[in-house]
Structure 1
């Protein structure tokens, strides 16, 4: 695919966050971050809008290339049957890594809020009110 067909406009979000309303994979879905990232990169094919729907954070620096996967952090989805799906184990992994991430504090708080929303969404989707973000 030639680069002139790719829209490199950053996703239109104020917090560089993934779509928290994406459907969930089964709760017991296995998670391998590196394998899921590779599948997401292949699926997105350089499209920054697709990349942004899989990750909770993108470096907001306007000089960065929004189609470059190295500027994304906290993958919380995998490509299953050709479509992105939230993976609960990915969300728990993101929650565990958040405090060690090298991102600005204001962005960390936005990501924390998104993770909290994902935990609440998972509780509803899986019918388990005991599912809560670690900091709740």
Structure 2
């Protein structure tokens, strides 16, 4: 269970499109780059990046308060990703977008062996994306 004093809070995103704080930009006037999180994604957030002028954080919103503020619950505290599935209703291609993000991160790895291992892990996690337009038959 998290408390209002925890400096880093783990949340599970319940609805894609929720914007979470990102990495701090060096030399930036405004704190961080936000990014859009996907349903089922587990994110660690620095509580200090979520405080308003009065010192309140949106991390402390209850499910009812989130519904009032956002129209639906957007996150839950802790790692509950195992209980969230995209399933048949993946009309927005969330799994594909998650695969794209994983590929981009893996391709940034400088060490060739680490990069190959990361890409192999992604291939196992997303077998539906392994199909290519390349032919394996010689002509």
More relative contact order in 1 or in 2 (CA 8 Å, sep 6+)? Answer: 1
Q: Give the TM-score category using the shorter length.
A: 0.3 to 0.5
Mark the structure with the bigger radius of gyration: 2
TM-score by length of 2: 0.32
Higher helix proportion: 1
